[in-house]
Structure formats: structure tokens, C-alpha cells
Amino acid sequence: MWWPICGMTDEAGKPIAGELGEPTIDTGDLAFRPMAEDVEKLNQRAHEAGDLDITAISAHTYPHVKDTYRITTCGGSFGEGYGPKVVCRADDARFDEGEASLAKLLEIGHSIAVPGRMTTAYLTLSILLRGIDADKKLTPVPMLFSDIIGAVQREEVAAGLLIHEAQLTFEEVGLKKLIDLGEWWGRERGGPLPLGLNVIKRDLDERVEGGCERVAKLLSASVEHAVTHIDQSKEFLRMRGGDRPEWSDDALVEKYLSMYVSGLTRDMGEAGGGALTKLLTEGAEAGLCPEPGASDVV
């Protein structure tokens, strides 16, 4: 979720200390406690428990949680000509870049590491593979997105489906791209590929007067602040990068932000909403997700 410097509090409800931790936006009587978690765990939590007032989810998850959550118009991520990537070892002579290699993977029946069955990456790959051969399937091996590169390197799986920052450095560690799903979607379907969404619990309005709209406006203000104070946003990423080397590389941070923070992140508008409907409708028609219905955006 793109609200890194908005009203942050600790578990006791007090503002987090530190130059980049102090709230820069007046949140009034609303307090926010950030929770860093893998997106697939957030997908499952939204689907199974629905206990978080605000959460990031994969676009694929929305039809499963639409009765519990509304979508915020800000904070989404869209692949505009790029997206999740299927990779294999660079020295694997069986496969070259292109859909023919995916057909070969299907023919052999190989396994592929995926970042979760509820991710948009997995939905999009499933749509593509059904178009190649609806009767054959790869064996998905769900795992944490950051573990996928290592699994492919060690030949535990034939290929891996990369999301997030894992897409930035795979070539440097001996892997090669078979297909970019965002490129494929744009070429074959047209328009951006919706990847992630921010959602708010519907019953927030019952607990806080005008809660959904108030929170959505605060999140929009936070996204706008993050975009217009880009140096602070980069430093915030570095502060919370842990042992991930990509966040200490200015060029990689710049590339990542340019990929997934765009005009559609600030406000998905009709273009983003239409792209979401297109993806989820095709997924539902293929039996890969529930019917999405109308996207409820606040």
C-alpha cells in the first residue's frame, strides 16, 4: 500500500519516532498502524478473515472479497506494458523467450514456482496457458515470492513466476525471461494489467461516520505526498529494506518506483477500473475466479 508516511503509529497508538516516521498528514481522530506482510498472506487473510480495516490485495483476490471490501481509487499498481515474468535458468537450453517455451513447459508437464494462487500474476499466467492448451496444466508450487529465484536456481522447479522486486535482478543471478505477462496482456488484450489494489472494509462506515470516504481521501493525500516527495519515499524504502540488496541500489529503486507508481496509482479512474473489469471478467469466464460484478471504488 502506498501510504508510507501518513499518520503512522506504534501498537500503543503513538506516532513512530524518526524523521520519516513522524506523521506529515493530519489524520484527525484516525490512526494507522502499518503491517508489512507478503501479499499472498494478505490475500488469504482478506478472503478468510476479513479483519483488517484497510489492506493491500492482489486484483485477482477482489472477486473473492467484494462483499467485505471496497476498492480505493488510489494506491493500486498497474503494469503498463510490463508485469510479472516467467523465468528459467539461463543455461536451460530447452527454453527460449516466447510463448513456444510455455507450450513446451505444458507439454512436459513441468512444475513452476508461483507467488500464490490468489495473485494476479497467477491468474494472468493461467489465462495465457488456457489459450495455449486448455487440457494441459503446469504444476504450481506456491512459495514466498522472494524464494522463487532460489528455487529456480537450484532446479527445484523448471520455471518461476516473479513479482515485486524479484523482477529487477533475475538476469544478474543466472536466470532468463521466458515471457513478460504485462507485455503479453498489453499486446493481446490491450491496456494496462491490474496487479494490486488497496481495499477498505465496508463496515467502516458503520463504526466511523463517513469512514470509507475519509480514509480513502487520507490515503490519496498520502500517495500524493509520497509521489511529490520522492527522495523521502526512496529513503523510506531503504530504511525498511532489511537485507534485500536491491533497495540499497539507487538505480533499482528508481526503476521499481517508475514501474509501479504511475498516474493510475494516484487515481485509477475509468481507465484503471475498466482494465480491472476486463481482467476479472475474462478470469471468471474461464472459471478461474468468481464473477467480479461492478467494481465498487471509493
CATH of the domain at 118: 3.40.190.10
**Strand partners for 139:** 111
Query: Does residue 183 share a domain with residue 148?
Result: yes
Within 13 Å, how many C-alpha atoms sit on residue 262's CB side? 22
Residue-wise pLDDT tens digits, 116-167: 999 999 999 999 999 998 888 888 999 999 999 999 999 999 999 999 877 7
> Of 18-22, 122-126, 152-156, 289-293, where does mean pLDDT reach its minimum?
18-22
Query: Does residue 155 share a domain with residue 92?
Result: yes
CA distance 92 to 105: 12
- Out of 136, 165, 188, a domain closes at 188
CA distance 86 to 59: 19
Q: Which of 64, 164, 225, 229 is catalytic?
A: 164
- Residue 47 is part of which domain span? 39-78+192-285
Read off the pLDDT band of 190 (50, 70, 90): very high
Query: Does residue 211 share a domain with residue 178?
Result: no
pLDDT above 70 (res 64)? yes
Considering the domain boundaries, does residue 51 fall inside one?
Answer: yes
Query: Does residue 161 share a domain with residue 69?
Result: no
Instruction: Output the nine-digit C-alpha cell for 57.
Output: 490485495
Query: Does residue 126 share a domain with residue 101?
Result: yes
Helices (H), the chain: 39-48, 62-65, 99-108, 120-132, 148-153, 181-188, 204-207, 211-228, 230-239, 250-260, 263-266, 269-285
Whether residue 110 lies in the annotated active site: no
- What are the backbone angles phi and psi of residue 48, rounded to the nearest 5°? -90, -35
- Out of 159, 188, 217, a domain closes at 188
pLDDT above 60 (res 12)? no
Considering the domain boundaries, does residue 3 fall inside one?
Answer: no
CA distance 277 to 273: 6
Helices (H), 140-260: 148-153, 181-188, 204-207, 211-228, 230-239, 250-260
Read off the pLDDT band of 40 (50, 70, 90): very high
